[in-house]
């Protein structure tokens, strides 16, 4: 089975962390957020630990923890930190590892490097989290094109939100990307409701892969 998977999204706030928590919980894996920008309130790692019920040793420490809730390149500049690609080598573990980017694919880490550049080096399969709401067709198709232009393996699209049958169909038909499933908006978001929704919404064999 695939041991490492990257969770990206069409934008910030699409639900990557919630989806990653559901996935890490179901795969009984590890979670890693390489760059956390914004330290007020719960961090993404803390959300995942809570929602996935992961013990602390399964949530790997972030390579960079930046104070301002901004694009990482700017947040780093404000903190006087230079993000170096060399610090973002993914750990090799015997169990599945779910890695979450920040924002969308073109988000900069510094003035030269974006997340997509790191993903192109990693060559790990990527799950693209996409909203189901209006505007997602454009964002999702552009993101798929950007991945394909760099030969980054796309495991598929995880839709997040309430069902929009034609929107989802249109994205799948134009992109040719696999639709992994859909995580609905959960009015009550707990470890239990998330796990149940992930089981109902996704076929995990297709996400986990067969190698
Ligand atoms: N399926 C869902 N049901 C209910 N609430 C959700 C769901 N998915 C996401 N949310 C809520 O939407 C908000 C944004 O989600 P999330 O933090 O997962 O986004 P993100 O894509 O990880 O953002 P970032 O780019 O900051 O990492 C959060 O408040 C989260 O609790
Ligand atoms: C602070 C936020 N929650 C994310 N971690 C970072 C989002 C960066 C988005 C940059 C952009 O696309 O304009
Ligand atoms: Mg997140």
How do residues 78-129 score in pLDDT, each as one tens digit? Answer: 999 999 999 999 888 889 999 999 999 999 999 999 999 999 999 999 999 9
Q: Distance, CA 37 to ligand 2 centroid (Å)?
A: 8
Closest CA to 39 of 15, 62, 21, 66: 66
Alpha carbons within 13 A on the beta-carbon side of 88: 26
Q: Distance, CA 107 to ligand 2 centroid (Å)?
A: 7
User: What are the pLDDT digits (tens) for 32-82?
Assistant: 999 999 999 999 999 999 999 999 999 999 999 999 999 999 999 999 999
Catalogue the active-site residues: 33
Report the DSSP pairing between strands 35-37 and 126-131.
unpaired
CB 181 within 8 A of CB 150: no
Whose alpha carbon is nearest atom 16 of ligand 1? 15
Q: Which CATH superfamily is domain 4-208 in?
A: P-loop containing nucleotide triphosphate hydrolases (3.40.50.300)
**Best probe residue, ligand 1, of 8, 11, 15 (max atoms within 8 Å of C-beta):** 15
- What is residue 143's predicted lDDT score, i.e. its pLDDT? 99
CB atoms within 10 A of CB 28: 11
Instruction: Return the ∠ at Cα 152 (arms to 151 and 156), rounded to 5°.
Output: 120
First to last CA, the chain: 5
C-beta 44 within 6 A of ligand 1: yes
Residue 37 known to bind ligand: yes
Residue ranges per structural domain of the chain? 4-208
Helix (H) or strand (E) segment spanning residue 155: strand 154-160
Q: Distance, CA 175 to ligand 3 centroid (Å)?
A: 24
**Best probe residue, ligand 1, of 6, 8, 13, 49 (max atoms within 8 Å of C-beta):** 13
Q: Which atom of ligand 2 is nearest to the CA of 11?
A: 12
Could you give the CA distance from residue 136 to residue 170 in angstroms, rounded to a whole number? 10
Could you give the CA distance from residue 159 to residue 140 in angstroms, rounded to a whole number? 10
Could you give the CA distance from residue 42 to residue 83 in angstroms, rounded to a whole number? 22
List residues bridging with 8 in a β-sheet.
128
Q: Distance, CA 16 to ligand 3 centroid (Å)?
A: 5
Could you give the CA distance from residue 171 to residue 159 in angstroms, rounded to a whole number? 10
CB 115 within 8 A of CB 147: no
- What is residue 201's predicted lDDT score, i.e. its pLDDT? 97
CB 132 within 8 A of CB 162: yes
| Tokens matching residue 200 | 């109902």
Higher pLDDT, residue 120 or 209: 120
Q: Complex ipTM, two decimals?
A: 0.99
**Best probe residue, ligand 2, of 16, 100, 102 (max atoms within 8 Å of C-beta):** 102
For residue 150, give Cα distances in angstroms to 2, 51, 143: 20, 33, 11
C-beta 104 within 6 A of ligand 2: yes
Whose alpha carbon is nearest atom 13 of ligand 2? 71
Residue 210 CB partners (closer than 8 Å, separation 6+)? 1
Could you give the CA distance from residue 7 to residue 101 in angstroms, rounded to a whole number? 6
Is the pLDDT assigned to residue 1 strictly greater than 50? no
């Amino acid at each position: 089975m695939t041991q490492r998977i990257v969770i990206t999204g069409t934008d910030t706030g699409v639900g990557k962390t919630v989806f990653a928590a559901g996935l890490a919980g179901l795969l009984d894996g590890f979670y890693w957020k390489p760059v956390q920008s914004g330290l007020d309130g719960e961090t993404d790692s803390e959300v995942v630990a809570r929602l996935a019920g992961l013990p602390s040793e399964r949530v790997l420490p972030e390579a960079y923890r930046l104070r301002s809730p901004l694009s990482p390149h700017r947040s780093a500049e404000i903190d006087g930190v230079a993000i170096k690609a060399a610090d973002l080598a993914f750990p090799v573990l015997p169990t599945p590892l779910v890695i979450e980017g920040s924002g969308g694919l073109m988000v900069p880490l510094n003035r030269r490097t974006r997340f997509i550049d790191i993903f192109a080096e990693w060559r790990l399969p990527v799950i693209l989290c996409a909203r189901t709401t209006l505007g997602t067709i454009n964002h999702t198709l552009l993101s798929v094109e950007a991945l394909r232009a760099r030969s980054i393996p796309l495991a598929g699209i995880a839709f997040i939100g309430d069902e929009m049958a034609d929107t989802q169909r249109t994205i799948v038909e134009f992109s040719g990307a696999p639709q992994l499933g859909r995580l609905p908006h959960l009015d009550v978001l707990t470890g239990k409701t998330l796990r149940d929704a992930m089981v109902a919404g996704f076929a995990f064999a297709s996400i986990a892969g067969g190698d």
